[in-house]
Structure 1
Amino acid sequence: MSFDGKSVIITGAGKGIGRACALYLAGQGARVIAISRTRADLQSLAAEIDCRTVQADLSDPQAARDAMAEAGPADFLINSAGINVLESSFDMTDAGYEAVLGINLRAALITCQAFARARVAAGGGGAIVNITSIAGHRGFAEHLCYAASKAGLEGASRVMAKEFGPHGIRVNCIAPTITLTELALEAWSAPEKSQPMMVRHPVGRFAEVEEVAASVALLLSEGSAMITGAVLPVDGGFLSV
């Protein structure tokens, strides 16, 4: 896959899957516009690849819109910004709900909207990949709001695929299994939690961020020109068995 001459906006580009996507796509020739709330993460990314950076707290709707305006038009959008607050159904708090749904769902809808409007103004075309999770398909303890945000984003992505499709804009989701990011390590560090999950993966391991990034690139590429409204599990077979 070559992305020479193409540009991509990546939210959550400072860490984890978003950063892996930035590194991967830059290596394939793409011009990266990296959005993150942490300046140090953006600075370290810019030291590794030639990219533009936009610092923004996407939990603020206006900041999300301003960040997309600053990022400018691009060929692709990857929504990787995400957080989790480990609260059970019994213990959910308003603050936890607002934090998780604000970043994982609302911010993604805002960035998709801004991206699509810019693409239509430029004549159409382009592609979006939203990072969701197998947590939107299976029930994991203490992941109430996280699961709701990811399942919600998949549903919204199907709507956007239908509405953006006539303008040549494709919208798909990648649903990774536990991927070895800082967020996942916090949630799954205890062996009593991680081992029962790992044995349910036919490949016998969790995902690496680079593997998820390669799958994202596939859905952005011309090789996936007939794929839209889809959710691709990158889960080592977890959902199939």
Structure 2
Amino acid sequence: MDFTDKHVVLTGAGKGIGRATALMLARRGARVTALSRSAADLEDLRSEIGCIPIAVDLADPEATRAAAIRALPADYLINCAGTTELESFLDLKVENFDLLLAVNARAPMIVSQEYARERIASGRKGAIVNVSSVSSFIGFADHAAYCASKGALDAMSRVMANELGRQGIRVNCVNPTVTLTPMALKAWSDPAKSSGMLSRIPLGRFAEPDEVAEVILFLLSDEASMLHGLAMPVDGGFMVN
């Protein structure tokens, strides 16, 4: 998968899957515009791969739209930014529910709108990969807001695929199992919790960020030219168990 001379906009590039994806894109020739809330993370990434850094709080819709417009034009878009809060359903706070919907679903909508508008106006094809989660399929305890936000992302992506595909823009989701990122360690550090999850994964382990990044790049690439509207588990077989 060669991305030489391609420009990729990547949200959530500062940590975890996003950072792994940015590094992999750079190794394969891409020019990366990296969006993240943390200016320090972006500066670290810029020093390593020479990306174009844009610090933005994706919970702010106006700032998100301005950042997206600033990042364009681009050949491809990856919506990888995400956040989580762990609360039981009965204890779930409205403000946390709203935050997760804002970052995990509304921000991808805004960035994708601006990306797609620019591609359509210029008469060029494109591809979007939205990084979702197996949490869009499964009702994990203490993840009500997170599951809802990722379910919303998957549902919106199906509509995007239906509408934008007719304009030459492919849209797919990647749905990883627990991936060994700082956010996942926060959510799954308790062995009593993680052992139950691991027991349902036939391959017997959680994913590494690079393993998810490989699938993201494949779906973005011309090699996946007939793949469209997918929600693709990257889960070690979790969904078949």
1:179-217 CA-to-partner distances (Å, cap 9, x unmatched) read 000000000001000111111111110000000000000
* Correspondence 1:195 to 2:214: no
**Aligned residue for 1:138?**
138
Does structure 1 residue 106 correspond to structure 2 residue 113? no
CA distance in 1, matches of 2:148, 2:86: 13
Counterparts of residues 110-129 of structure 1 (less than 5 Å):
110-129=110-129
Deviation at 1:88, TM superposition (A): 1.2
Question: What SS does the aligned partner of 2:52 have?
Answer: strand
Cα distance in 2 between the residues matched to 1:139 and 1:166: 33
Q: CA deviation at 1:240?
A: 1.2
Quote the residue 2:233 is aligned against.
233
1:70 positional shift: 1.1
Q: Which amino acid aligns with 1:234?
A: V
**Amino acid corresponding to residue 82 of structure 1 in structure 2:** G
Identity of aligned residues (%): 52
Counterpart residue type for residue 98 of structure 1:
D
User: 1:91-123: CA deviations, max 9, x gaps?
Assistant: 111111111111001111111111100111121
CA distance in 2, matches of 1:122, 1:216: 25
- How far apart are the structure 1 equivalents of 2:89 and 2:161? 31
Alignment partners' CA distance in 2, 1:100 and 1:165:
27
1:150 aligns with 2:150: yes
Alignment partner, residue 33 of structure 1: 33
Alpha-carbon distance in structure 2 between the residues aligned to 1:28 and 1:121: 28
Q: In structure 2, what is the Cα distance between the partners aligned to 1:131 and 1:62? A: 22
User: Normalized against structure 2, the TM-score is what?
Assistant: 0.99
Which position in structure 1 is the counterpart of 2:169?
169
Tell me how far 1:166 sits from its aligned partner: 1.6
Supply the distance in 2 between the matched residues of 1:94 and 1:196 (Cα, whole angstroms): 29
Q: Secondary structure at the match of 1:90?
A: helix
CA distance in 1, matches of 2:202, 2:7: 36
Render the CA deviation track for 1:101-150: whole Å, top value 9, x for unaligned.
11001111111111100111121311000000001111111100100110
- Flag structure 1 segments of 5+ consecutive residues without an equivalent: none
After TM superposition, give the deviation of residue 89 of structure 1 in Å.
1.0
Give the corresponding residue for 2:50. Answer: 50
Q: Structure 1 residue 175: deviation in Å?
A: 0.1
| TM value normalised by structure 1 | 0.99
Task: Calculate the aligned-residue CA RMSD, in Å.
Answer: 0.7
Find the residue that maps to 1:127 and give its secondary structure: strand
1:64-99 per-residue CA deviation (whole Å, 9 max, x = no partner) reads: 100001111101111111000111110111111111
Q: Which residue of 1 aligns with 2:14?
A: 14
In structure 2, what is the Cα distance between the partners aligned to 1:36 and 1:6?
20
What's 1:74 paired with?
74
Letter in 2 for 1:154: D
Amino acid at match of 1:112: S
* Equivalent residue, structure 2, for 1:183: 183
What residue in structure 1 maps to residue 219 of structure 2? 219
**Structure 1 counterpart of 2:86:** 86
